[in-house]
């Protein structure tokens, strides 16, 4: 019964073999990691676009297998990983106070954004993770200071980024708040 699989089976094997050969060739052609020492940026090759890994010494190092931020040059988008209220030197939480953690998290975000020549004004979307929704007001107060704009003596309407906020059961290092962002590089 199973002695012959017919022409379809042979066609499938040839297609599979062709894909495997293509992937083998691509792995030999893939650009290697290159470091640009002046600004701690690493460039990687990708299939349809390029991405640049951004790292800032003024922000805590990633505490897992992820990058502080990724810049997609073709779109000018900067994707900043979740920032915690960690001291950049010690890697520990700055305090047990949610407002202080939020402020430090946003300072860390600013440092990473600067590596892409961006500021908080370039942020278009944030995600805020809270250990408790009871901290929503305190975090909003700090958050609004980092994203509000001033024009002369009068306050201009704030162009706050789009945002979503979740309460979660836990965060790395038992933090009380974590904030990530997507920014658009200025043209």
Which residues have C-beta within 8 Å of that of residue 136, sequence separation ≥ 6?
130, 165
Give the separation between CA 119 and CA 185, rounded to whole angstroms. 9
Distance between CA atoms of 92 and 106, rounded to whole angstroms? 15
* Residues designated as active site: 165
d(CA 175, CA 180): 14
The helix (run of H) or strand (run of E) holding residue 99 is: helix 98-114
Give phi and psi for 153, each to the nearest 5. Answer: -85, -20
């Amino acid at each position: 019964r199973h002695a012959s699989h017919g022409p379809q089976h042979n066609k499938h094997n040839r297609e599979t073999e062709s894909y495997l050969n293509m992937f083998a060739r691509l792995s030999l052609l893939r650009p290697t990691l290159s470091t640009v020492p002046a600004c701690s940026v690493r460039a990687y090759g990708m299939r349809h676009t390029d991405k640049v890994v951004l790292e800032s010494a003024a922000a805590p190092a990633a505490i897992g297998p992820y990058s502080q931020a990724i810049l997609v040059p073709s779109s000018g988008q900067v994707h900043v990983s979740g920032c915690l209220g960690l001291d950049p030197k010690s890697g520990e939480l700055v305090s047990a106070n949610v407002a202080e953690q939020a402020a430090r998290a946003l300072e860390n975000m600013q440092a990473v954004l600067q590596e892409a020549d961006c500021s908080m004004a370039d942020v278009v979307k944030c995600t805020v993770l809270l250990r408790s929704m009871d901290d929503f007001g305190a975090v909003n107060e700090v958050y609004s200071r980092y994203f509000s704009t001033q024009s002369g003596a009068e306050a201009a309407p704030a162009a706050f980024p789009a945002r979503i906020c979740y309460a979660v059961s836990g965060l790395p290092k038992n933090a009380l708040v974590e904030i990530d962002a997507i920014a658009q590089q200025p043209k």
